[in-house]
Structure 1
Amino acid sequence: MLSARSLFQEIHDDDDAFRLFCSIAAKGEDQGGWENGRISALVADQVLAPKVARHGADEDKHGRIFKALLHKRGLAPVDVPDDTDYTMRLERQGIGLAHSRLRRDEPLSEEDVIVYLAHSRVTEQRASEQMRLLTKVFGGHPDIGRAVRMISNDEDNHLAFCHEELLRLAAAGHGRTILRHLQETARAEIRTYRDVSLAVMAHMGVVLDWPRAKSAALAAGVRSVYAWECAAGWHRMTSLTMPERLNALGGPVPQETFA
């Protein structure tokens, strides 16, 4: 029987599949770290800037964690196939702040900040859900349990940060702009998540030598999730609720390490 638990366990137990999975994850985190680092340097709001920097530092930490998991098994990262690059596929659709914009030393406008926060609110929803799933599967695992719990907690903090900051901007009169960017981003994200998921499953199928019927069943599952998200599921990415974790990225950076 196919399940998330059995699928992730199969990937974990095979060195080549685990190496590909962690390499894809590490590259996405590294990109997120760079983006947030640049945004923090370009944000004029001196209250917001350190929170964005903290977001970027967390993403950098996550990249190091995935690389450390590989190192523990004596594995090296591999090149990430272009079709599995979630971050760059979103950018090519004009979602979020383009890397070309972030490389310019020009302060971000208020709408740029809204674009950043809307993009983060949607993508962090996905990250939070994915890490909660991994925590259910591997939270008690002796080798990777602590890593997935740590990353999951950080992703929940990032999501709380986005909700709180967008609600603050909505109260300042930017509600319509925020909603427009959230809806545009959510619709693009669910398409991108479908395409990247199909690509990852295809690559895993080759690595793990899945029979055609298994690959077809997994692809059908990805498409059924997409159909649900098109019909109704995308709304969970565009709603805004004051989080229980207020000022989630404020205060001192926790001195957590993972080795």
Structure 2
Amino acid sequence: MLSARSLFQEIIDNDDSYQLFCSIAASGETQGGWENARIAALVPESMRELAPKITRHGADEDKHGRIFTALLKKRGLEPVPVPPETDYTMLLEQRGIGLAHEKLRRDQRLSEEDILVYLSHSRVTEQRAADQMDMLVKHFGDHPEVGKAIRMICNDEDNHLAYCHEELLGLAYAGHGRTIQRTLRECALAEIAVYRDVSLAVMDHMGRILKWPRAKRAALSMGIRGMYAYERAGGWRRMVDLRMPERRDALGGPAEPAPAF
């Protein structure tokens, strides 16, 4: 029977698939760390109070990248190149979602609208990350090899999501509500398509590594496409609603250090 638990168990039991999984995760997290660090450095003067939280966000993402790299090294593995079709961050940027890396490389202050775009993009992508980590904690939170790492990252992702909700609500109350809702919708509809494509690509690579039979690969593809159909029909709305989180000022302090794994 196909299940998230059985699939992930197969992936972590095989060195080659585990190596690819951790490499993809580490690359995406490290990229997120760089993006947030650049945004923090370029925040407009009118929003400088956000800079420490954006810095903390980036530090957490960078920490996650180091955690996935450490998980590889613990098994005696090295990171491998990330296939471009599995690069979630790059594919989102190519669709014009979030702030372009070209803009972030300049030493030029961002605008207030740029920060709205950053927070809206983060609201959507952090929802995806939080959902994924919740699923992994449910099935593998007690796993002797990856459980500790998964629990720490899951807690951080919940903090990131809470931060996005709180900051976007504050900006909506300040008069930016229409811009935020429009941007959230654009981000969500693009993200669900990118997530579908990346999921199909990752499962294709895993299927070849693990030598899954054609029927199993077809069933997984059908499931991924079915999830996209659900999200396109209305499931995307969970990624754009805003409500005051229970965790207030979730990124108000320094990042917690990553213990050894």
State the TM-score bracket (shorter-chain normalisation): over 0.9
User: What is the deviation of 1:256?
Assistant: 4.2
Are the aligned partners of 1:128 and 1:152 in contact in 2 as well (CA < 8 Å)? Answer: yes
Are the aligned partners of 1:55 and 1:158 in contact in 2 as well (CA < 8 Å)? Answer: yes
Please state whether the residue corresponding to 2:25 is helix, strand or coil: helix
Instruction: Give the CA RMSD over aligned residues.
Output: 0.8
Identify if the C-alpha distance between structure 1 residues 255 and 65 changes in structure 2 by more than 3 Å, giving closer, same or farther.
closer
| Equivalent residue letter for 2:130 | S
Give the distance between the partners of 2:201 and 2:257, measured in 1 at CA: 36
| Matched length | 259
1:181-223 per-position Cα deviation (integer Å, ceiling 9, x unaligned): 0000000000000000000000001100010000000000000
Give the distance between the partners of 1:126 and 1:77, measured in 2 at CA: 24
Which residue does 1:252 correspond to in 2?
Answer: 254
Q: Out of 193, 199, 209, which is 2:195 matched to?
A: 193
1:34 matches 2:51 = no
1:66 matches 2:57 = no
Which residue does 2:103 correspond to in 1?
Answer: 101
Are the aligned partners of 2:60 and 2:255 in contact in 1 as well (CA < 8 Å)? Answer: no
1:141-193 per-position Cα deviation (integer Å, ceiling 9, x unaligned): 11111100000000000000000000000000000000000000000000000
Give the distance between the partners of 1:222 and 1:58, measured in 2 at CA: 29
Please state whether the residue corresponding to 1:66 is helix, strand or coil: helix
Are the aligned partners of 2:63 and 2:258 in contact in 1 as well (CA < 8 Å)? Answer: no
Give the stretch that moved more between structures: 100-109 or 42-51.
Answer: 42-51
Give ranges in structure 2 of 5+ residues lacking alignment.
Answer: none
Give the distance between the partners of 2:255 and 2:8, measured in 1 at CA: 31
Give the stretch that moved more between structures: 44-53 or 109-118.
Answer: 44-53
Are the aligned partners of 1:22 and 1:66 in contact in 2 as well (CA < 8 Å)? Answer: yes
| Equivalent residue letter for 1:4 | A
Which residue does 1:178 correspond to in 2?
Answer: 180
Matches within 5 A, 1:154-173: 154-173=156-175
Identify if the C-alpha distance between structure 1 residues 165 and 33 changes in structure 2 by more than 3 Å, giving closer, same or farther.
same
1:45-104 per-position Cα deviation (integer Å, ceiling 9, x unaligned): 232000000000000000000000000111111100000000000000100000000001
Identity %: 69
Are the aligned partners of 2:29 and 2:65 in contact in 1 as well (CA < 8 Å)? Answer: yes
Give the distance between the partners of 2:260 and 2:238, measured in 1 at CA: 32
Please state whether the residue corresponding to 1:80 is helix, strand or coil: coil
Give the distance between the partners of 2:254 and 2:93, measured in 1 at CA: 31
1:205-242 per-position Cα deviation (integer Å, ceiling 9, x unaligned): 11000100000000000001000000110000010000
Give the distance between the partners of 1:196 and 1:238, measured in 2 at CA: 21
Which residue does 2:8 correspond to in 1?
Answer: 8
Give the distance between the partners of 1:170 and 1:24, measured in 2 at CA: 34
Give the distance between the partners of 2:142 and 2:126, measured in 1 at CA: 23
Which residue does 1:241 correspond to in 2?
Answer: 243
Give the distance between the partners of 1:182 and 1:121, measured in 2 at CA: 8
Give the distance between the partners of 2:25 and 2:93, measured in 1 at CA: 17
Give ranges in structure 1 of 5+ residues lacking alignment.
Answer: none
Which residue does 1:25 correspond to in 2?
Answer: 25
Q: Out of 109, 112, 116, which is 1:110 matched to?
A: 112
User: What is the deviation of 1:254?
Assistant: 2.7
Give the distance between the partners of 2:219 and 2:197, measured in 1 at CA: 16
Give the distance between the partners of 2:210 and 2:163, measured in 1 at CA: 38
User: What is the deviation of 1:255?
Assistant: 3.8
Are the aligned partners of 1:147 and 1:258 in contact in 2 as well (CA < 8 Å)? Answer: no
Are the aligned partners of 1:12 and 1:18 in contact in 2 as well (CA < 8 Å)? Answer: yes
Which residue does 1:124 correspond to in 2?
Answer: 126
